[in-house]
Structure 1
Amino acid sequence: MTAVAEALDRHERRRRAALAGVSARLRAVGIEPAFGVLTQYYDFYGKVPTGLTGLTVDEPHGTGRMQVTVVAAERLVPPGEGGLSADGHVWTRDVDIEHDLPAAADLVFEVTLLEGPAEASGAMWAPRRLVRDEEAVVDAVRLWHGYREMLRATPPKPATTRRRSARARLSAARRDAAASPMVRRPAAVPPPLRAHLDGLDDARLAFHFPRDRSGRYARSAVVALAGDGTALSRRGPWLSARADGAALVVGVEPLIGANQDHRWDRLPWLWSNDETPAAVRWQVDDPGRARATVERLDAFAVAEALTACGVEVDADLTALLNGYPVAYGLARHTDTWVKRLYDQLQLSAPWRLAAAYAVHQQERRAVRRPDGEPVALFGLKGLNQQSKPMVGLDAPGGGPRLRMIWTASNARLPRALWECPADLLAELT
């Protein structure tokens, strides 16, 4: 069977001639473009036709591609008009773009940055710019081509002594609270939760309750202690604990279990009279075996700590751990994401990640949901949109792997499953 020939660009010669000056200017500054068929993409102006030709330049580290071609463009509204409405719901076309080139057409350069995964259709979403001058094209390509080094953030410097001092203060605050716990209990709870309330250990709850950097109870934290059997993805009554100054208040409130950062139903030893052995609670049989990893994290040697515990890291998170942007269009968030990544992973217990993901798989299987998908640990912050960047955990080959994911879901893996246990840190202080 003969393969169908790829559609040809009948204006290839004209485009090659129109782009010759741009190509020469790029080579003069050390950037080597290639002329050929462009990757298809689409945006508000429409979809690029199959077989369109132009110049391509690949980013040296493989984070994207810049494409340049020539098009016929006709302005439809006065300059400054058109585009998205203030609420972002209405698009008004400001320019009519034609990839077929009439003989008397007014030609402009179309510069497109391709970043991100291909859509199911095979086409890619890409923002395009229209410029008239060769110099403007070269400036855009040069700025993008070297952006990783130019926009690199500085990872945090080691602060082992300060970190150990902060941990010692935190452990002391936990011990003081456990020695004289102030816990207010509800007068009555629904029967399914009564047994959980009867088993509540005030001292353990006071010791393990989340705290801020000063050592005080975290005011905004809500700890979901135990549910009544309602599916984790549905709202239902949970026995919960919140802080009220120096006291903790236990009550019953409607929560969606899967969305809780602090969900302790799988770790009853944090708040009840459960007598689970330390080796099970910590996943190490001797606190000393965790010391080297904790010390690496104290020194912000996060990559070394993860590697030592057999945890893989995807390309995006590896870039952030080294201070590099993950993409040109997201480079303005690099400082925020690098700081957030180090701050959160410094709290982790990498040797616990495999077991934590196994719990996630068990919970997914229990509700007959796919169990091989990544689960979010924490968000990277900075973007006010529905789908947000988060650090996720999966285990594609059986071993734990951290990866950058984009999700609009609020579901996450409870922190108590993957953070370093407070009582283990107290043993190491």
Structure 2
Amino acid sequence: MSSRAPDRSDAVLGGQNSPPRDAVVLGGLAGAEQKLAHELRSRHQSIATEGWKLPAPIDPVRERGRLQLIAKGLSNRQIECQFTEPSPYLLSRLTARGRSDFDRDLSLLRMGQIVRNFPWDKTGRVALKTAVVLNIYEKTPDPNPHSKERDLCLAAIGPDRRSDEQIVKIGLTDLYAIDRNHRWENCPWLWTDKDTPHTELLGTNQHIATPENDRAMRSLSLLNEGKIEEALGLYGVILSTVLHQILGGGIVKNYYSDLTWRDLLVDTLRQSAPWKLPQAVIDEAARIDLWASQKKSRKPRLPLLKLALFPNQRYTHKTCLMLTENINDRHPQLIMQSSAINDRLHHTAWKRSISVDFARYGITIETD
């Protein structure tokens, strides 16, 4: 074999040039973890870490109890779906292609799937004041050129209060899809008969045994252990210096942070599918490149995706947890940044399915 052929550690401990954002790492899971440990040590040596502590590991008994409560609520859902006839005005806004897509989706709708998958609260009951975008359609330009363009969507809208009739209403509506946590236009298995892809069970024993599944399982195990940065690092995702300090329980100057910020950071990242984060950055970068190419006056910019809002803030511009791309090495990076807009990255683009956690803890949902 040539002396230049890569061995187990070459690609991991080799050159200093930054890899492409979607590059693979050779050397297997052990090599990736070796590289990650080296990088984290180097980064943290330059940060004041006095009093820094790992988040506490998840208590498996309490976590199983939490998931069982959700599963029980999902099994006992007493709700129904109703289709609402669209208004003539909204129908008139659809282009020929939009109308064709809308009619197709109506034929594919499965109310039972929507009942099973509609977002839930901590007890598995239907989440209140929640709208789910099922699909977005091509429409004619807004007649008012000065108004902010709403999206014309097929949406499932739940009740506002527990005292309301527990009905999920499905119909054509106009709303700002970019503001919504729940968007299923790329997840048709949640509202049609389409089979759930194997990728939705990545990180469990129910997925096909592959090195990629081993890495996902290891990542979720690290999240449970409180080793958040190591879990994300298996997919090249890094935390900013400020977030590293908050993760360790530190109070950061110039931010009105307290331990509730750490709790939100840990809880948010523990709900994530770390393997989805790099793809979310790639997709957003591609969208921005396309947008910038459509007009000479538009300038390319870094992807910036809001995951969560830190609590206890009273000002218009609020500090958020954002996913972006590191300007130096192009790795996905989590940062803190203030924002006054409601745009956010929808849950299916960065969170793992609850089915993953049910499978990991051996929990099943009883269905009729």
Fold similarity call, TM over 0.5 = yes
Relative contact order, CA 8 A, sep 6+: which one is greater?
Answer: 2
Residue from 219, 223, 233 that aligns with 2:132: 223
Equivalent in the alignment of 1:333: 257
Task: Give the drift of 1:175.
Answer: 5.0
1:64-86 superposed Cα distances (whole Å, 9 cap, x missing partner): xxxxxxxxxxxxxxxxxxxxxxx
Identity of aligned residues (%): 23
Decide whether aligned partners of structure 1 residues 171 and 286 sit closer, same or farther in structure 2, where only a CA change above 3 A counts.
Answer: farther
Unpaired stretches in structure 2, ≥5 consecutive residues: 1-45, 92-98, 142-147, 293-297, 362-368
- Secondary structure of the structure 2 residue equivalent to 1:240: strand
Decide whether aligned partners of structure 1 residues 188 and 256 sit closer, same or farther in structure 2, where only a CA change above 3 A counts.
Answer: closer
1:86-121 superposed Cα distances (whole Å, 9 cap, x missing partner): xxxxxxxxxxxxxxxxxxxxxxxxxxxxxxxxxxxx
Q: Distance in 2 between matches of 1:344 and 1:256?
A: 24
Instruction: Give the partner amino acid of 1:198.
Output: S
Instruction: Give the partner amino acid of 1:227.
Output: I
Decide whether aligned partners of structure 1 residues 155 and 427 sit closer, same or farther in structure 2, where only a CA change above 3 A counts.
Answer: closer
Question: Taking structure 1 as the reference length, what is the TM-score of the superposition?
Answer: 0.57
Residue from 187, 192, 197 that aligns with 2:85: 187
* Correspondence 1:345 to 2:269: yes
Q: Distance in 1 between matches of 2:230 and 2:60?
A: 15
Equivalent in the alignment of 2:58: 158
- Secondary structure of the structure 1 residue equivalent to 2:220: helix
**RMSD of aligned C-alpha atoms?**
3.2
Task: Give the drift of 1:283.
Answer: 5.8
Higher helix residue share? 2
Contact 1:234 1:257 (8 Å CA) reproduced = no
Instruction: Give the partner amino acid of 1:392.
Output: M
Residue from 220, 229, 238 that aligns with 1:303: 229
1:398-418 superposed Cα distances (whole Å, 9 cap, x missing partner): 432211122222111111110
Task: Give the drift of 1:200.
Answer: 1.7
Task: Give the drift of 1:312.
Answer: 0.9
Q: Distance in 2 between matches of 1:298 and 1:243?
A: 32
Equivalent in the alignment of 1:168: 68
Residue from 399, 413, 416 that aligns with 2:345: 413
Equivalent in the alignment of 1:259: 179
Contact 2:130 2:157 (8 Å CA) reproduced = yes
- Secondary structure of the structure 1 residue equivalent to 2:233: helix
Q: Distance in 1 between matches of 2:188 and 2:221?
A: 28
- Secondary structure of the structure 2 residue equivalent to 1:263: coil
Equivalent in the alignment of 2:31: none
Decide whether aligned partners of structure 1 residues 204 and 395 sit closer, same or farther in structure 2, where only a CA change above 3 A counts.
Answer: farther
Decide whether aligned partners of structure 1 residues 201 and 307 sit closer, same or farther in structure 2, where only a CA change above 3 A counts.
Answer: same
Task: Give the drift of 1:395.
Answer: 2.9
- Secondary structure of the structure 2 residue equivalent to 1:378: strand
Residue from 382, 388, 407 that aligns with 2:318: 388
Q: Distance in 2 between matches of 1:307 and 1:321?
A: 15
1:41-61 superposed Cα distances (whole Å, 9 cap, x missing partner): xxxxxxxxxxxxxxxxxxxx8
1:268-347 mapped onto 2 (5 Å cutoff) = 268-275=188-195, 277-279=197-199, 281=200, 285-286=207-208, 289=214, 290-327=216-253, 329-330=254-255, 332-347=256-271
**Matched residue pairs, number?**
279
Task: Give the drift of 1:171.
Answer: 3.4
Q: Distance in 2 between matches of 1:333 and 1:304?
A: 23
- Secondary structure of the structure 2 residue equivalent to 1:254: strand
1:23-422 mapped onto 2 (5 Å cutoff) = 155=55, 158-175=58-75, 177=77, 182-188=80-86, 190=91, 191=99, 193-229=102-138, 234-244=149-159, 246-275=166-195, 277-279=197-199, 281=200, 285-286=207-208, 289=214, 290-327=216-253, 329-330=254-255, 332-368=256-292, 370=300, 372-396=302-326, 397-422=329-354
Q: Distance in 2 between matches of 1:427 and 1:197?
A: 32
Task: Give the drift of 1:318.
Answer: 0.6
1:138-157 superposed Cα distances (whole Å, 9 cap, x missing partner): xxxxxxxxxx979x899556
Unpaired stretches in structure 1, ≥5 consecutive residues: 1-60, 64-147
Instruction: Give the partner amino acid of 2:346.
Output: P
Q: Distance in 2 between matches of 1:187 and 1:367?
A: 34
Task: Give the drift of 1:337.
Answer: 1.0
1:21-47 superposed Cα distances (whole Å, 9 cap, x missing partner): xxxxxxxxxxxxxxxxxxxxxxxxxxx
